[in-house]
Amino acid sequence: MPTTARHQHNHHDAPDTTAAFARLETLEPGPEHDALRDELVVQWMPMAQRLAGKYRNRGAEIEDLRQVAAMGLVKAVDRYEAARGAFEAYAIPTINGELKRHFRDSLWAVHVPRRVQELRNKVRTARRDLTTARPGEPSIAELAAHCGLEEAEVRDGLEALDSFRTLSLDAESRGDGGEGDGPALADTLGAAEPGFETVLDREAVKPALRALPERESRILYMRFFADMTQHQIATELGISQMHVSRLLSRTCSRVRSQALAGHRDAA
């Protein structure tokens, strides 16, 4: 197995593998081909790792990025043809493409359209450039002018910056001491819904209401849903108002008792 020499490149991690790739193309699939292919991957791995390092501090683990870059390198070695020119010029876009695809497809906490992802990248780059030039957070107008976007698009990009990672509801907020010793995030969000108890009560009485005789069910409907008085109900049914009052009282007590009994059984 011949060894490959290095020559002058823009980066120290770009070995001269022209002859090795030319030989690889002449080999039939088999152990010798696979061994030379693996040697080429090993020699170009430092470049792949360098490219992965450019994406650090963007919310992904560096080891994951290195693995993605390595997979991109393997694809580049397998698909490269000497007629395409220098391997480095072919491999770099291939590896960068794998890394960007990893961010786009694997690391977003919520689904974000590709257009908004692109806005996010432009806004993030513009904010980095502006804060490097001078201290302080740039305004939306400054960001829009810097990256050639509308202010509404900048706002979409800024919102997407917060969509890349989610925070667990079990995460502890900062306490008085500045550490994460405060209450869990879930305990600080939301409030009791005013109508929640009403919904529970309605669900609890449904079985009892369905079991009522037709007349008692009709009386409850006229009184509590049609908002009719006892006198109007009595006239409608051709009975006395006192009888209506007794039926309402007895029916409500029955429904209440059955609902409470159902609640005790469920508990």
Which ranges in the chain are annotated with CATH 1.10.1740.10?
Answer: 18-106
Report residue 7's pLDDT band, with 50, 70 and 90 as the boundaries.
very low
Model confidence pLDDT, tens digit, residues 66-89: 999 999 999 999 999 888 788 999
Residue 8's pLDDT is 41
Most confident by average pLDDT, 8-12, 144-148, 175-179 = 144-148
- CA atoms of 212 and 221, how far apart (whole Å): 12
Of 154 and 9, the one with more pLDDT: 154
CATH architecture of 196-266: Orthogonal Bundle (1.10)
Give the HSE-up count for residue 231: Cα atoms under 13 Å, Cβ half-sphere. Answer: 0
Do residues 169 and 184 make contact, with C-beta atoms less than 8 angstroms apart?
A: yes
- CA atoms of 195 and 83, how far apart (whole Å): 72
Residue 42's pLDDT is 93
Q: Which two structure tokens, joined as six digits, stand for 206?
A: 């449904």
Q: Which two structure tokens, joined as six digits, stand for 94?
A: 């291939």
Do residues 113 and 81 make contact, with C-beta atoms less than 8 angstroms apart?
A: no
Considering Cα of 77, then 79, then 82, then 84, what sign does the dihedral take?
negative
CATH architecture of 109-166: Orthogonal Bundle (1.10)
For the segment 52-75, the average pLDDT, to the nearest whole number, is: 85
Model confidence pLDDT, tens digit, residues 205-220: 888 888 889 999 999 9
pTM above 0.75, yes or no: no
Which ranges in the chain are annotated with CATH 1.10.10.10?
Answer: 196-266
- CA atoms of 56 and 34, how far apart (whole Å): 32
CATH number of 18-106: 1.10.1740.10
